[in-house]
Chain A
C-alpha cells in the first residue's frame, strides 16, 4: 500500500502569483503536409501576440525563458526538436528546455513555466507545445504510441494503447456501471457531445454530428471501446504566455485579455496498471472517508482503489491543485472545465478523480446534464460545462499541444472572446473548413474559474491547471 509522508503531502506554495496573459493555437488536423512544425508553432505564437494587440516581435521582447512540450521524438524523427523551434521562433540565445511527459506534456510544460515565473527566475515565459503525428500511417502511429507502455510487458500485446484503456472500461462497466446497457449509452453520449462541440470550433480536427447509436455501431477497436469512443491522432501546436503581475499588467494594457491567475499541480502513478497497489483514497476537500466506507458494498469490486477504475495521478494533481488555489467543491467553485478525454471511459473516470462526483457515481455528471453548455434536460446552462473545445475526441490529440490548448480554450471564456475566436468566418476560411449553419456560441457567461486536466499513459503523469479571475480568488494568499 502506498503511504504518503507529511512532507510529500505539503501543499505547494508559489513564491509570487503567476498570470496567464495570452495564448494561441494552430489549426489541428490528422495530417498537414503543407506545413512544417515550425510554421504551426509560429501560427500559435502569432495568434497569442495578436490577442494582446502585439506583433510577434513585440511579444518576443518580453520573453525570458521558454519551455517546449513535445512528446514523441520518434513521430517527427527529430531529436532536439525544441532547439529547431526555438531557433525558428528567433528566440536564441534565451534559455529553453524540452518537456516530455506523454499525454500530459502540455500540462507539464505549463507546470514548468509557472515555476519559472513563481520562483522569480523569469518575469515572462513562453510555454509552447506541439506534435507531429502524420509522418507515419495510422497503424504505425498506434505502434509508436504504444511504445509509451512498458516495452517488455505490455507493448507486445497488440501494440495498441486503446487496449490498455479498454480493460479499464470493462472493469468500470462491471463494477460501477453494473453491466447496465445504460452506462454504455452514457459513454457514447460523451462521444456525441465532444464531437458535436467540435463542430463549432474551426481549429478542431474531428467535428461530427452523430448519435449514440452511431457510436455504438462504430467498429470495435478494443471491446468495449469502439472507434468513436477514441480520441484523435493530430498535428498542431499551442502556446501560452505566463508572467508575473507587473509584466502581465503591462502586456495586457488596453487589450481584451485580463491577466488570469494560474496554478498547475502534478501527480503520477505507475506506467503499468499491473503495478497498482491497493491504497486508501486520498480525499479531496469536498469528500469524507465515511462516504467511501461502504463503496465495496454498493459497488462490489469497487473496494480496490485505485484498481483499474481510478487514476491516482489525476486524484493527486487535483489534491494538490485544489488546496493551492482554495477550491473546496469543484462543482460549486468552477465554471468551465476541460478534461483529458482520451477515451470516453477515461472522461468518466476523471470526473471522479477530480471530485465532480464521488467515486462510483461519475456517470451522473453526464446523465444529469451538468456537463453540457446547455443542459438538455432543463434547457438552462449546464452547471459545469466540460470540453466545449471538443476535447481530445473532437478537437485534437496533438500530444504536446493538448494541455495548452485546453488552457487556452478555457481562458477564452474568461476573456469573453469565445465567439470572436471560434466564430470569425475568416478563421473558418483560412482553415478551409465550412462553418456550420447552426454554429452556436459556446461562450460560458461570467466564467471566473476553470480547470484543465492533462493526462499521460494510463495515468502515469497528470497535471491540473487552474485558472482564476484575480478578482474572484477563493483564497487570499493563494
Chain B
C-alpha cells in the first residue's frame, strides 16, 4: 500500500519511510495533423524532496508557536551591528558572523504596516493558497528590510497597519503559517487554525 514519504533525522542522517516517488507510465505524443505520427513522449514524475531549513529551522518552528523570530547582528566590530534582519538571516550580510536569534513578535504587533501589495488572481501550479492571494510586503519600525507575506482578511492598502497571525493548529511548518490581518480584527474572525 502506498504511503507518503516520511523523514526524520538521526545522527545527522536522513531516515526515510514510505514512497518517495510514484511510477506512472509514459505515453506517446502524436501529431493529429500528420497521420498521428510520433512526435515525442510524456515523462511523468512525482518525487518528494528532503529539504533542510538548517539554521532557519527555529523561525519556521516558532511560527506554529505564535512567535515571529528574527535575527540581529551583535558583532561590535561590524558596521551593521544592531541591524535586525527580517527575513531571518542566519549570518550577517556584512561581517558574515552568526547573528543572534531574537523574538520580534511584539515589535511586529506594534509597528507592522503595509509597504506595498498586490492581488494575485492566477497562481502557478501547486499553490495552496485560495485566490485571490493578497501579497503584502511589511515594514517594521527599526527594521531595515521588508518582509513578504499575505493578508488573510480585508483589502490591502499601502500604509495599512496590520498584525501577524499564526497557524498554531496543524501548522505546515512553512512560511504559510504566518499571515496578517488588519489591526482591530477579532480573533473569532481569523481563518481556521490561526491565532494571534
Contact = CB atoms under 8 A, between A and B. Distances in A.
Interface string B54-70: 00100010000000000
B122 A221 contact: yes
B118 interface: yes
Given A142-B124, A163-B120, A274-B146, A308 B174 contact: no
A218 to B, nearest CB: 11
A33 interface: yes
A296 interface: no
A277 interface: yes
Contacts of A153: 87, 148, 175
Question: Number of contact residues on B: which range applies?
Answer: 35 or more
A34 B150 CA distance: 42
Contact of A152 (B93, B144, B175): B175
B127 interface: yes
Interface stretch (B20-28, B103-111, B129-137, B184-192): B129-137
A171 B146 CA distance: 13
A387 interface: no
B56 A152 contact: yes
Nearest to A275: B145
A274 B147 contact: yes
A170 interface: yes
A160 B125 CA distance: 8
Contact of B118 (A3, A156, A169): A169
A52 B149 CA distance: 53
A220 interface: yes
A274 B87 contact: yes
B120 A221 contact: yes
B80 to A, nearest CB: 9
Contact of B150 (A137, A146, A157): A157
A169 B93 CA distance: 27
B100 interface: no
> Which of B60, B86, B124, B127 has the most chain A CB within a 10 Å cutoff?
B124
> Which of A225, A274, A278 has the most chain B CB within a 10 Å cutoff?
A274
Given A220-B121, A223-B119, A308-B116, A159 B127 contact: yes
Question: Number of contact residues on A: which range applies?
Answer: 35 or more
Interface in A214-262: 219-225
> Which of A34, A153, A221 has the most chain B CB within a 10 Å cutoff?
A153
B135 A158 contact: yes
A354 interface: no
A167 interface: yes
A77 interface: yes
Nearest to B60: A152
Nearest to A174: B158
B41 to A, nearest CB: 11
B43 interface: yes
Contacts of A220: 119, 121-122
Interface of B: 29, 31, 39-40, 43, 51, 53, 56, 60, 79, 85-87, 89, 93, 115-129, 132-133, 135, 137, 144-150, 158, 174-176
Given A156-B174, A275-B89, 18 more contacts: A33-B29, A33-B39, A135-B43, A139-B123, A146-B124, A153-B148, A156-B127, A156-B176, A162-B122, A163-B118, A163-B120, A167-B116, A167-B118, A167-B135, A170-B116, A174-B116, A222-B120, A273-B146
Q: Sort A-B residue pairs by CB-CB distance and give the 5 closest, nearest first.
A: A166-B118, A142-B124, A159-B124, A171-B116, A143-B124
